[in-house]
Each structure stands twice: as structure tokens, then as C-alpha cells.
Amino acid sequence: MNDGITRNPNGEVLIGDFTARELTERFGSPLYVYDEDTLRNRCAVIKEMCRQTKLNINYAVKANSSVGLLKIIRDENIDVEVMTLGEIYTASAAGFPYSRMLFVSNNVAPETFKTVSDFGITVCLDAVCQITSYGQVRQSRNVYIRLNPARGEGHHEKVITAGKVKFGIDLDQIDSAFAEAKKWDLEITGFCTHIGSKFNTYEVYHENVVNLLKLAEKYPSIEYLDFGGGFGIPYDRTAETPFPFEAYTPVLHKTLTDWVNRTERKIKFGIQPGRYLVAESGICLTRVITDKINRGIRFIGTDLGFNFLLRPTMYDAYHEIINASRIGKESDAVTVTGNICESGDILGKDRLLPKDTTIGDILIVRDTGAYGYSMSGNYNSMPRPAEILINRNKKAHIIRKAENYDDIPQQANPVPLKPYTSFKLGGPADAVCFPSDITELNALLHTLKANEIRFLFLGKGSNTIFTEAGFRGCVIIPSGSFKEISVSEPNIIKAGTGVMNMELSAFARKAGMGGAAFLSTIPGTVGGAVFMNAGAYGREVCDILVKSDCLDTVSGQIISLSAEEHVFSYRCSIFHERSLAVLFAYFRTQPAATEEILADEQRMKLQRRTNQPINRLTWGSVFKNPEGNSAGKLIEACGLKGKGFGSAVISPKHANFIENTDGNAAFADTLRTVQLAQPRVKDKFGISLSPEVRIYDEHDLVFLFFIIQNGTSVSLADSTIDFEFHSLHSFQPLRINNFTRDGIFACGELCSCVPVLSIITSALKPDASS
């Protein structure tokens, strides 16, 4: 909030057009309150320095991930730095395209790297082994690495992020990082650092800038240098000052200008502020619940525990505390506490509050806009408070609703299907389940079938699209043992249905087993590859598949199919006709030198990078290639490259791909873009294009493209299929992360208001798992 405190004639603090009490009576206590003017002011300060020094700004989303605040930051033309898929999805919900995100890794799993790479987000890697993980699944060739300088500083040892800490790559490992990147045909084009937090002077920060510039001179491939964030604010206004941007700007400008002029390097620079932008824009309002004296200490107890504001407990951090209800002529030194069952639940010791502070008063805890709500949780099973914004007209509105006690055992958060498809389109499902082995899968299917709940299997969704209405039923994504690879017998690789094709190819290469290199260029999983007989560069799955273990989803029996029994043809198999789900697939290989296999992979990857939009959001090929012809060339000959509707565009690089240019393509626009190609090709060449992609609406698999190709005049309205592009239902989906052996959920998110979820959760008991 603003530095000055304004009170009405009754001595009550005014926040916008409201008193603190009016806000808590309207929105509840405790309450997070943000001020739009303060946030925009801090953005303006940072932007002015960066305008003069030509720095790019990436706001650190972890500081405060409220969508309402992120929208303001987006409108201020500031980009974002993200560290998790959750932060990516949150930033996307606030309207940030993936091109305005920088992903900085910290112990990131390969499957997360795959998703981030599919989004086309710039990646910064913070360990040599993370370069390996990313190289196995990446789409983009250029990467940054995070370095760990020898010196780090901060207001507490837990926020020092350089030196003897887990972050970044030590400077003596840089050459090893470049060598590892070369193995995976990656090019390191950027260095990033972040040495600590809450700098109230610039000397230490600038020392890191100078050192990073010197280091970059040794590496000609570097095109971007990020100096990190950590700019401090005065939590204690009696003893601290904010980071001196006005004084530092000319110093930084001269340093960068002199370096560029001397080295003649065309290089970009960036920073990653978090706290400075949002901290002072936020306060917490909390109600006094108790007032007592223990062992001579006066304790003022509030309803704001460390579950909602962790900084004082975790970092011994200081936040100014003000009584918003009264001024008071005399003061008392008190200890202000929260309502959590921990002795450490203390907001502040020896704080001066009016002597007549009493139960029911409203206290203000200042400067909680950074690392406040974003670090909150449900400890002691307490529902989290609301967040509200005081806009520029001094009016208050909710930007995040308060949780209630029904939310605690259920954690009913929507689970959109958008993250589970490579095109990134799709509304929520009733349930998304992740069985880890055959026992758990059978228990789940038994329950679903017994209660007539629809289900479908999904891998990485590289050839699947859902409409905005989502899917009424249960989406099953095999996990655990279904994502394992092994050598089952000499020259035979066994891979679970959830194994990524690129992982299978990498496993074969490391084991000196040739013949599977073409899989390194095929997005998606083994299950999907077998399902559609995927292929690339003259090779198909049918060329190397020996057999597969499948689940008959009708009888529940596991059967083994020989290669011949798969009835493979071009992009087709028996799975299109029978209710079978691939569990494990077995592939025949031949002994080969690792170097030869790697060279083969790199040759095909280069060809793919040259001809296909690999760093864009697509679902792979839109249409099957007609016999003796190329769907892409036919569409290109119709002059349709770059054409489309909304964010859905026929790829300018390869016409048999449709790109989701900013991650926000609507299904209706995607459909219209597809409709551009089929009738044009039919009219010009007399050839009907058949689709590779599967489309689901909320109730059924939609054979949409079949309708279009067999009647080019048939419009959507003329078809017998009922589409609901925008009718999201008022259910709360379920995400089940894993099961225990007896079928009870070990970790899940449930909502009793959804019949599907109630059935699943009540039925998966020990006696239902057999």
C-alpha cells in the first residue's frame, strides 16, 4: 500500500474508499488486500531503469502468482520468469503467451521438460545433468544455463542463492556444461545468475553484473545475460531504504555501454525482479481474537497464522504491524501471534500497539504482497483467505475467493485437459487418474465400468484434441510401471505404454541397440505410437514391434498380440477396431555402435528441425499422406500456408501442421482452420484428406473430419453431432496422483458434488480392488 497511512476522523485506517473493518466485514478475516496504484508505480520504477539500460524484465511469478496481479503486470509489458508447470499455467491464464516466459529449472523431471519444450518456452538449466534430461526430450536447440557465482548475499541464509547452495552450475563446471550440450546438439546462448534477495544497496549486485560480463567474454555463443533480481524494499521504514534505482541506473548504464562498445558484442541483458514489484502493494488484515498476559508478556492473538503468512516464522522477517481500528495515546510492547498450534507462530515480538488495543480490533500487517499468499497452505486444515484488489478508482473487488472448510478435504481444483495435449486445447474432465500398475488400473476400470462411467486412455496427447467443454468421464494416464523401460531378452526392449518415444530411442542408443533411432523424432508415447503405427523417415513401428501386452477393457483380461495380430497399415492398427489398451510393447533391435546411432538420430532431428515447426504448439500431422503424395505439399499448393483463424494457423513452415500460435487457440477457430484445407485440396486435386488427429467433445469421440471430407458442403450446423464449444459445466474435477495397493487413494483431490468422483472414491475400497 502507499507509504502514508490515512485515517478517518474516528482514527480508522482508510484503504481506498473503505475502512479496514468494512473490508473484513465484507470479505472476511484474515484478508489479503492489494493496491493497483502501488503495483503500477513499482512497475514504472523498474521499467524506467530498464528503459535507460535496455534491459528485459522477467517478473518472478513465485513472488505472487495471483492471476489478478499478473494481468496488471502483463499490461505493463513486463514478461515473466516461471519455475514450474503450475506457474506456466497460471501465467497463461493471465494472458501471457509462452513467448513471454522464461523457464528456470530446479530439479525438473524429464516429463516436465518435455511439456515446457513443446510449449516453445525459453529454458534456463541449472545443472549439467539437467542439460542431459532436457536434451533427451527437447524441441528447441538454444538454451540458457544458470550459473552459481562464488558469492551470494541476502537478508537471511535461506534466501542466499549463490555459493554453497543447491542452485546453479559452479563456474568450474561451465566447460562441462558446454560439452554435455554438444552431445545433445544443444547450443548454450545465455547465462543467468541470481545471487540472493532483498538488496537495499547496489554494490554487491553490481559486482555480480561485472563478473558475469567478464565471464561472457570467454564464450562467443552467449547472446543473453540475465543478472537476476533481489531488489529490496524497506520492510522496517525506520531503519531501511528501498533499492536505490535512481542512483544505480547511471552506474549500470555506463558499465553495460562500455562493455558492449569494447567487445562489439550484440547481446541482450535482463533482470528478474519479484519482491520489489509486488511486496509494498499488499497488506494483510487480521482480527484480534485474544488479549492475555503470560509470564509478564502481553500476547495479542489474531486469526492470521503462519499458514497464511510464513515469512516471519521462516525467515524471522520483519513486517510492520498497525492497529487499523484506533490510534491510542499510549503504547504497549506486545507479541502478536497467529492461531496455529505452534509456538513459532509469531507475527512480531515487542511491537508497539495502542495500549487500548482490544478484541475485535483490525490489525494491518504491511508489505505482504510478495511471498505471502504464494507461500500459504492449509496447515491445521485452515481454509485460505480471499485476495482483493483496490483498483485505480479506489473500489474493491475479489481476485481470488476465500476457501471454505468443504475445500480442505476435497481440494476441488479444476483439472483442465489443456496441459495434457500437445496442441494445448481442452476444457476440464470429471476425473484424471494416474494408475501406476496393472492392479491399480484393473481396480479403476472395474469401478468405472460397474458405474457406467466413460473413460479414455491418454498418453502425451500428441494427436488428440478436446473441445472447451472438456470430457464427461475419466481420463486415464498410465504412470509408474507403465513408464519403465528394460531389456527383456537379448536385442528386445520392453517399454511401458507411458514411455516417451524419445526416451525409448535414447535408451536404445545408450545400450548399443540399433533400429529405433527414428522414434527420436516422433512426439508422444509408446502407447500412441503402437496405436497409430507411427512412423518417420521411411520407418514405422510395425518394422520393429515384436508383440504387445494389451488390456481388453471389456473383459478385463490381459492378452498378448503378435506383430501380425496388430493388423498394421498406414497410421492404423487393430486398436481402431477393438477395445484394447496397450500396456507394454516389445521392440526388436540390432547391435550397433552408440556413435552410429547418435549420428542417425542427429541426422533425422536436423531434417525434422529444418522442415517442421518443432518448437511450436501442434498435434503433429493433421492429415495422413495420400498414397504416393504429400498432404503438406498439396495444402501448400493451395496457397494456405500461414492462413487460419484466431490463434490457429496453418504452419508457415509445413502446411500439414496447424500451430496454436500463442497457446490460446479456440476449438472453433481450429476447426475452421482445418476446414480451409480439405475442400481446397478436394477441389484442386480431387483428393480427400484423411485425419490423423482424434477429437473429443464432452460426451463422444467426434469423427469430425470424416464428415467434412465426405461432404465438403456439410457445415457444423448441418451435422448430427451436438457441439458445445463454450458450455463449461459447474463440476469440480478430480486429480488422482496415485493409489495405494488396496485401491485407496494415497494422494488425491476430490469433490463430493460430482457424481463421477463420488462413485470412484466410494467404490475404490479394499474389496473393490480385486
Annotated catalytic residues are: 341
Give all strands (DSSP E) within 642-707, no chain letters. 644-645, 648-650, 658-660, 694-696, 701-702
The identity of residue 95, as a single letter, is: G
DSSP 384: P
Q: What are phi and psi of 80, to 5 degrees?
A: -130, 150
Residues 620/422, Cβ–Cβ less than 8 Å = yes
Q: What are phi and psi of 69, to 5 degrees?
A: -75, -40
Say which residue the cell 561451465 belongs to: 174
> 29 vs 69, 360, 620, CA distance in Å?
21, 11, 50
Closest CA to 601 of 653, 540, 536, 670: 536
Give start and end residues of each alpha helix (H) in 285-326.
Answer: 311-315
Residues 476/436, Cβ–Cβ less than 8 Å = no
Torsional class of 486: left (φ above 0), alpha (ψ -120 to 50), beta (otherwise): beta
DSSP 695-738: EE-SSSEE-HHHHHHT-TT--TTTSS----SS---S---EEEEE
508 contact partners, CB below 8 Å, separation of at least 6: 493, 514, 515, 516, 517, 587, 589, 597
Neighbours of 376 (CB within 10 A): 18
How is residue 366 written as a grid cell?
504491511
Name the burial class of residue 203, with classes exposed (0-12), middle (13-18) and buried (19+) by CB atoms within 10 angstroms of its CB.
Answer: exposed
176 contact partners, CB below 8 Å, separation of at least 6: 128
Preceding amide of 428 cis, omega within 30: no
How is residue 168 written as a grid cell?
546453479
Residues 168/124, Cβ–Cβ less than 8 Å = no
The identity of residue 50, as a single letter, is: C
How is residue 154 written as a grid cell?
541476502
Closest CA to 503 of 487, 519, 492: 519
Cα separation of 442 and 436, whole Å? 11
Residues 161/104, Cβ–Cβ less than 8 Å = no
387 contact partners, CB below 8 Å, separation of at least 6: 31, 32, 33, 34, 66, 68, 373, 398, 399, 400
DSSP 608-633: HHHHS-TTS---S-SBPPPTTS-HHH
Residues 266/335, Cβ–Cβ less than 8 Å = no
DSSP 167: S
3-state DSSP helix/strand/coil percent for the chain, to nearest 5? 35, 25, 40
How is residue 743 written as a grid cell?
485401491
Closest CA to 230 of 269, 190, 196, 257: 196
Cα first-last separation, the chain: 59
How is residue 77 written as a grid cell?
509489458
Q: What are phi and psi of 696, to 5 degrees?
A: -120, 135
Cα separation of 169 and 112, whole Å? 20
Q: What are phi and psi of 238, to 5 degrees?
A: -85, -15
How is residue 495 written as a grid cell?
517399454
CA angle (644, 650, 654) in 5-degree steps: 165
